[in-house]
């Protein structure tokens, strides 16, 4: 995100006082600049530091922390397929040319600010930007330049489109933009879009998907718990925010679901799940708490099909301090991206396995 205003003393005081950025993280940022605050409360810290003049570099760092803390990175996965048989290297070049030629489509807010065909021809990396007005925010945040980082890589005769974004609506709007590219009457697109949706799975596999994810054997992670579950009776395309739209079940039900998945019994052993399936409900998202086997790191991630497309969202990151207590921590965008890519690949592997199984069963019949 590009910062176009410096951070005023008034705005900085509000950020510190209202804990828009965690007080501990403010202190860490100040220490890196030779300022060693000894106060403990956010109010005292704000009074002590707000009179400093903060330049653009510090402003950018502070706002990045606001984004990281309040809008952890999210990803949406799409699949594109060539319309004709073509080898990967040729198609990567053709796809690169197509994005360049269609980089500024009329009546859309998106501009390509970066496009790169990887040197080893393993894919394309793009960055789309657009401006977003945020009402009611402090002056430094009134106009945000939103970045959508897109990576396209070949995967089993298809190409994975990985969209990294902050807001849920950012992804939805960009998918609509891709649709416009494909349906542009002035030119023929060389690819077709495939969506990773729950509606492609039958009723049993809508449950099996989350069962299998909960029992996946990770090399570097193990699942500690399931902390939230969301159900739906139909796929909604107009949801805007995971926090507002989530309908978590009561704690006893979540505990039962967590136990059924983690001990390998399966979700169908939970009477509540069977009852929901009979009434046409299905799991829309599930939040997993995972612990790293080698690092003092725990993540809570959402595996979600809200707005229909598969999303992986880092909800919370925790680390262990010197006293053995778990405290909230901030992961850099690159760290979040690496973890998201891994869990996204796991989710897609499970999804593909289930769809393939369904297709084989259909043929055998």
Per-residue HEC secondary structure of 175-227 comes to HHHHHHHHCCCCCCCCEEEEECEHHHCCHHHHHHHHHHHHCCCCCCEEEEEEE
Which of the four pLDDT bands, split at 50, 70 and 90, describes residue 243?
A: very low
pTM for the structure as a whole: 0.73
pLDDT exceeds 90 at position 213: yes
Q: How many CB atoms lie within 10 A of CB 306?
A: 26
Average pLDDT of the residues of the chain: 78
DSSP state of 250: P
Helix axes 203-214, 333-364, angle to 10 degrees: 140
Residues 177, 102: Cα–Cα separation, whole Å = 11
The fold of 74-195 is Alpha-D-Glucose-1,6-Bisphosphate; Chain A, domain 4 (3.30.530)
Reported as a single tens digit per residue, the pLDDT across 49-70 is 777 766 767 777 776 666 554 5
- Whole-angstrom Cα Rg for the chain: 23
What does residue 266 show for φ and ψ, rounded to 5 degrees? Answer: 100, 150
What pLDDT sits at residue 255? Answer: 79
Reported as a single tens digit per residue, the pLDDT across 57-114 is 777 777 666 655 455 788 999 888 877 776 777 778 887 887 777 766 667 777 888 8
pLDDT exceeds 80 at position 357: yes
Residue 24: CB partners within 8 Å, gap ≥ 6?
A: 327
Residue that has been written with the tokens 């002590």 in this structure: 48
Which of the four pLDDT bands, split at 50, 70 and 90, describes residue 342?
A: very high
Burial track 64-101 (b if 16+ CB lie within 10 A, e otherwise): bbbbbeeebbbbbbbbbebeeeeebeebbeebbebbee
Q: Where are the domains of the chain?
A: 9-70, 74-195, 199-364
């Amino acid at each position: 995100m590009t910062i176009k205003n410096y951070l005023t003393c008034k705005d900085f005081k509000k950020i510190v006082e209202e804990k828009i950025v965690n007080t501990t993280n403010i202190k860490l940022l100040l220490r890196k600049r030779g300022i060693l605050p000894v106060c403990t409360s956010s109010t005292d810290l704000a009074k002590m530091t707000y009179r400093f003049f903060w330049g653009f570099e510090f402003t950018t760092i502070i706002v990045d922390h606001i984004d990281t803390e309040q809008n952890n990175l999210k990803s949406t996965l799409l699949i594109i397929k060539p319309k004709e048989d073509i080898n990967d290297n040729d198609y990567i070049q053709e796809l690169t040319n197509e994005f360049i030629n269609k980089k500024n489509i009329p009546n859309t807010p998106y501009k390509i600010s970066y496009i790169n065909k990887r040197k080893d021809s393993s894919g394309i990396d793009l960055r789309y930007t657009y401006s977003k007005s945020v009402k009611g925010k402090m002056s430094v945040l009134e106009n945000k330049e939103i970045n959508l980082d897109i990576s396209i890589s070949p995967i089993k005769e298809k190409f994975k489109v990985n969209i990294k974004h902050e807001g849920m609506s950012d992804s939805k709007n960009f998918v609509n933009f891709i649709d416009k590219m494909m349906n542009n009457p002035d030119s023929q697109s060389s690819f077709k879009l495939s969506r990773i949706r729950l509606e492609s799975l039958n009723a049993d596999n809508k449950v099996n998907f989350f069962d299998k994810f909960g029992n996946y054997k990770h090399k570097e992670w193990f699942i500690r718990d399931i902390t939230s579950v969301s159900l739906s009776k139909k796929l909604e395309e107009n949801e805007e925010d995971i926090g507002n739209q989530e309908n978590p079940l009561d704690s006893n039900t979540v505990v039962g679901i967590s136990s059924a998945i983690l001990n390998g019994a399966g979700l169908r052993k939970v009477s509540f799940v069977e009852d929901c399936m009979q009434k046409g409900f299905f799991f829309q998202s599930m939040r997993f708490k995972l612990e790293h086997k080698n690092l003092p790191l725990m993540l809570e991630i959402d595996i979600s099909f809200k707005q229909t497309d598969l999303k992986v969202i880092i909800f919370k990151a925790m680390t262990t301090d010197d006293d053995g207590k778990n405290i909230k921590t901030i992961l850099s965008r690159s760290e979040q991206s690496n973890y998201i890519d891994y869990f996204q690949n796991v989710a897609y592997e499970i999804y593909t396995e289930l769809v393939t199984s369904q297709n084989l069963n259909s043929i055998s019949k």
